């Protein structure tokens, strides 16, 4: 893998780092789609973030970032740095990087949708965009570190050049450093970090080195370990550059083990507090759900009880609306009867022998039926009103069953005369029903 390291410094004056606001953005992309995956960027990003945090930086990390997350994170860093003119910024990127028409691009992990140079300009992060965005923050010091693969991973590329171009239009006051020279391959190393990144991390942890000394020592280490095969390249656009203005001491020294432990304990405490709050929120939501279910169950029981009471009341009203009990024959008519029977209030079946008279006084107007069955003779039925006038007489249904259907008025006493044709002697069942 070929790699690029860019350190951009925009300096106003040399001041002590103690007490100043320091913000960093660290991006590491490894799990690419559409192009080769990378082994070290996530390790490099995590290790650089840890060193910066130990030096007092507030660090935002983006791991395996897409285009939107990367650009949004750059603008977030610009906003934080712009809030204080004496603040320090640090940008680190590890992942694929390519050039097209002299422009350098940092590749998001969703590289399968980059199919040509036009897509590259639209769907990758321009290095110039990153440089200019943090330059516009107007803060005292910005450092950009890019560890990018310098070989073009796209098969569609028609460019014959290998690797990124030298930044020729970087803002004044910048230092651009490549981990290896143009048309050379950077060593991935044998450990979890690349060769250049590993030595950079070791030297960042060394107190008292200026940034100039940091660059010089890291370049010397890389040249020595690689037996001259990998030679970092440095490009300066920093008028009056001097090691007295750029140094590790301006960034702050790595914290002591005790301070690191304290921060780890504080992080653990925050994590425990967040988990406790999440659990409290979950329990509160569960309690609210149970209370809601209890209220719903109570409302359901109340509705069922109300509906049952309404049904019972409706049944009671229906029973009360039924006609009065059919009265037995009066004394004068009883003398004409050879048999006497009483029909229940809601209708029913009585056995008729010879001639029978029955009375009914409806409490509500409505339709009634009078039907015979189980005949041993030919039955005859007549319905008389209270004046003795015939209201209806029977017709015959199946099997010579007699049927009367008539509308009766409430409060009127009616007489049902049940007998046989031609003075026959027999019996039948008389069924009386209210429709």
pLDDT greater than 80 at residue 280: yes
Mean pLDDT (the chain, rounded): 76
Q: What is the CA radius of gyration of the chain?
A: 51
SS3 14: coil
Residue where the block lists tokens 């039907």: 371
What tokens does 77 get?
Answer: 């860093």
Measured from the Cβ of residue 256, the count of other Cβ atoms closer than 10 Å reads: 10
For residue 303, give every residue at least 6 positions away whose Cβ sits within 8 Å of its Cβ, in sequence order, or none: none
- In terms of Cα–Cα distance, which of 423, 425, 325, 427 is closest to 373? 427
pTM of the full predicted structure?
0.54
Q: Which domains does the chain have, with CATH numbers?
A: 5-255 (3.40.50.1460), 331-434 (2.60.120.380)
Q: How confident is the model at residue 397 (pLDDT cuts 50, 70, 90)?
A: low
pLDDT greater than 70 at residue 404: yes
pLDDT of residue 33: 93
Give me the DSSP letters along 388-418.
Answer: S-EEEE-EE-GGG-EEEEEEE-TT--EEEEE
Q: At what angle do helices 67-82 and 127-135 cross, to 10 degrees?
A: 20
User: Using one digit for the tens of pLDDT, what is the confidence trace for 21-47?
Assistant: 899 999 999 999 988 898 889 999 999
- In terms of Cα–Cα distance, which of 162, 209, 165 is closest to 6? 165
Q: How confident is the model at residue 342 (pLDDT cuts 50, 70, 90)?
A: very low
Measured from the Cβ of residue 116, the count of other Cβ atoms closer than 10 Å reads: 13
Mean pLDDT across 286-291: 86
For residue 57, give every residue at least 6 positions away whose Cβ sits within 8 Å of its Cβ, in sequence order, or none: 22, 23, 24, 88, 90, 251
Q: What percent of the chain has pLDDT over 70?
A: 70
Residue where the block lists tokens 């590890």: 94
- Give bridge partners of residue 431 from the DSSP assignment: 349, 371
Compute the CA torsion angle 29, 35, 40, 44 (nearest 10 deg): -20
Alpha helices, DSSP H, located in 192-255: 195-204, 211-225
User: Do residues 44 and 147 make contact, with C-beta atoms less than 8 angstroms apart?
Assistant: yes
User: Is residue 138 left, alpha or beta, with left meaning phi > 0 and alpha meaning psi from -120 to 50?
Assistant: left
SS3 291: helix
Mean pLDDT across 101-116: 88
pLDDT of residue 268: 73
Give me the DSSP letters along 143-168.
Answer: EEEEEEE-S---TT------SPPP-S
Sign of CA dihedral 159, 160, 165, 168: negative
pLDDT of residue 332: 31
CA distances for 379 relative to 72, 327, 353, 357, angstroms: 100, 22, 10, 14
Distance CA 165, CA 168 (A): 8
pLDDT of residue 106: 92
DSSP structure class, residue 33: B
User: Do residues 245 and 11 make contact, with C-beta atoms less than 8 angstroms apart?
Assistant: yes
Q: How confident is the model at residue 8 (pLDDT cuts 50, 70, 90)?
A: very low
- In terms of Cα–Cα distance, which of 252, 211, 233, 203 is closest to 11? 211
């Amino acid at each position: 893998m070929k790699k690029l390291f860019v350190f951009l410094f925009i300096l106003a004056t040399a001041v002590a780092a103690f007490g100043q606001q320091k913000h960093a953005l660290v991006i590491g992309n490894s799990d690419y789609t559409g192009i080769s995956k990378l082994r070290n960027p996530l390790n490099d990003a995590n290790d650089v973030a840890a060193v910066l945090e130990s030096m007092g930086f507030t660090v935002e990390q983006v791991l395996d970032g897409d285009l939107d997350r990367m650009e949004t994170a750059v603008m977030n860093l610009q906003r934080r740095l712009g809030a204080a003119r004496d603040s320090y910024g640090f940008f680190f990127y590890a992942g694929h990087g390519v050039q097209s028409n002299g422009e350098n691009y940092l590749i998001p992990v969703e590289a399968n949708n980059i199919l040509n140079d036009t897509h590259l300009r639209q769907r990758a992060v321009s290095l110039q965009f990153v440089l200019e965005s943090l330059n516009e923050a107007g803060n005292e010091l910005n450092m950009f570190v890019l560890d990018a693969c310098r070989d073009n991973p796209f098969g569609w590329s028609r460019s014959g050049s290998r690797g990124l171009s030298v930044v020729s239009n970087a803002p004044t006051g910048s230092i651009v450093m490549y981990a290896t020279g143009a048309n050379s391959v950077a060593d991935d190393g044998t450990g979890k970090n690349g060769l250049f990144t590993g030595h950079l991390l070791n030297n960042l942890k060394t107190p008292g080195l200026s940034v100039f000394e940091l660059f010089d020592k890291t370049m010397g280490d890389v040249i020595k370990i690689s037996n001259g095969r990998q030679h970092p390249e440095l490009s300066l656009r920093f008028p009056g550059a001097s090691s007295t203005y750029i140094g590790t001491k301006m960034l702050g020294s790595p914290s002591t083990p005790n301070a690191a432990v304290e921060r780890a304990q504080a992080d653990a405490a925050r994590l425990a507090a967040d988990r406790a709050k999440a659990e409290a929120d979950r329990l509160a939501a569960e309690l609210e759900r149970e209370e809601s279910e209890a209220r719903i169950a109570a409302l359901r029981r109340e509705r069922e009880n109300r509906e049952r009471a309404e049904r019972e009341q409706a049944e009671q009203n229906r029973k009360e609306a039924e006609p009065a009990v059919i009265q037995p024959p009066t004394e004068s008519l009883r003398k004409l009867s050879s048999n006497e029977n009483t029909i229940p209030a809601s209708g029913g079946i009585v056995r008729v022998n010879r001639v029978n008279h029955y009375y009914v006084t409806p409490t509500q107007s409505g339709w009634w039926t009078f039907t015979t069955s189980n005949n041993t003779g030919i039955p005859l039925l007549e319905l008389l009103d209270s004046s003795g006038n015939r209201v209806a007489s029977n017709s015959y249904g199946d099997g010579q069953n007699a049927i009367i259907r008539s509308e009766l008025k409430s409060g009127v006493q009616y007489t049902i005369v049940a007998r046989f044709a031609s003075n026959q002697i027999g019996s039948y069942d008389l069924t009386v029903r209210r429709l």
